[in-house]
């Protein structure tokens, strides 16, 4: 036994096992840090959406259909899981002519006119940004560059 205590080989066996435990601890800490970074990144992306991009689609104009039947046209600035932020907003408004047609064969419904209205000139004076609760969004659609709505928006901007 005394020989074992004086044997320098016993000490050399103790040091590698200590180094091995330290190496395992470093790997464990590294794995935990990587998992925390991945989970944190996933949380931020799911909470705040794509903050780096102005829109989640490549189309310039989108139609946003709401649960109350209203449709807004505009540019989606930001879309998260909680809200959708819309700018350059337009909506459709049905207007009735002041005088009815003298032709009794034309139904009153056909005399209504559909107009594209720019948000902002209403009595309450809203700004040209709308934050829409995602619970009230049925769906969104990208508008083609040659759609009637996009043409009407461009015409109204030119005037």
80 and 28 inside one domain: no
Whether 53 maps to a domain, the answer reads no
Q: Is residue 99 part of a domain?
A: yes
* Domain-located, residue 20: yes
> Is 55 within the bounds of a domain?
no
Closest CA to 136 of 71, 89, 76: 71
Q: Does residue 34 sit in the same domain as residue 78?
A: no
Do 78 and 29 fall within a single domain?
no
Q: How confident is the model at residue 134 (pLDDT cuts 50, 70, 90)?
A: very high
Q: Let me know whether 15 and 39 are in one domain.
A: yes
* Residue 44 and residue 94 share a domain: no
CA–centroid distance for 155 within its chain: 28
Instruction: Report the pLDDT value the prediction gives residue 128, as an integer from 0 to 100.
Output: 84
Question: For 107-112, what is the mean pLDDT?
Answer: 62
Specify the CATH number for the domain of residue 95: 2.30.30.100
Same domain flag for 14 and 40: yes
| Full residue range of the structural domain in which residue 19 is found | 2-48
- What's the rounded Cα separation, in Å, for the pair 55 and 88? 13
Q: Annotate 23-47 with b (16+ C-beta within 10 A) or e (fewer).
A: eeeeeeeeeeeeeeeeeeeeeeeee
Nearest Cα neighbor of 81 from 42, 49, 43 is: 49
Q: What is the DSSP string of 71-108?
A: EEEEEEEEE-SSEEEEEEEEEEEEE--SS--S-TTS-G
Same domain, 75 and 142: yes
pTM of the model: 0.56
Q: Are residues 76 and 152 in the same domain?
A: yes
CA distance 45 to 51: 8
- Count the Cβ atoms, other than its own, within 10 Å of residue 111: 13
Residues 33 and 80 in one domain: no
Interatomic CA distance for residues 16 and 123, integer angstroms: 80
For the chain, the domain total comes to 2
pLDDT digits (tens, 9 = 90+) for 24-68: 888 888 889 888 888 888 777 666 554 444 334 457 999 999 999
First CA to last CA across the chain, in angstroms?
A: 102
Question: 136 and 108 share a domain?
Answer: yes
């Amino acid at each position: 036994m005394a020989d074992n205590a004086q044997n320098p080989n016993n000490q050399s066996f103790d040091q590698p096992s200590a180094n091995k435990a330290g190496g395992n601890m470093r790997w464990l800490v590294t794995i935990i840090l990587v998992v925390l970074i991945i989970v944190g990144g996933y949380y931020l992306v799911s909470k705040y959406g794509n903050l780096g991009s102005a829109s989640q689609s490549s189309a310039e104009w989108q139609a946003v259909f709401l649960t109350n039947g209203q449709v807004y046209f505009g540019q989606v600035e930001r879309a998260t899981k909680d809200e959708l932020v819309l700018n350059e907003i337009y909506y459709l408004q049905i207007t009735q002519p002041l005088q009815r047609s003298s032709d009794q064969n034309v139904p009153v419904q056909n005399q209504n006119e559909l107009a594209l209205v720019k948000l902002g000139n209403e009595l309450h004076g809203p700004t040209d940004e709308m934050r829409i609760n995602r619970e009230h969004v049925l769906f969104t659609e990208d508008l083609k560059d040659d759609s009637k709505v996009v043409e009407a928006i461009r015409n109204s901007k030119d005037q």
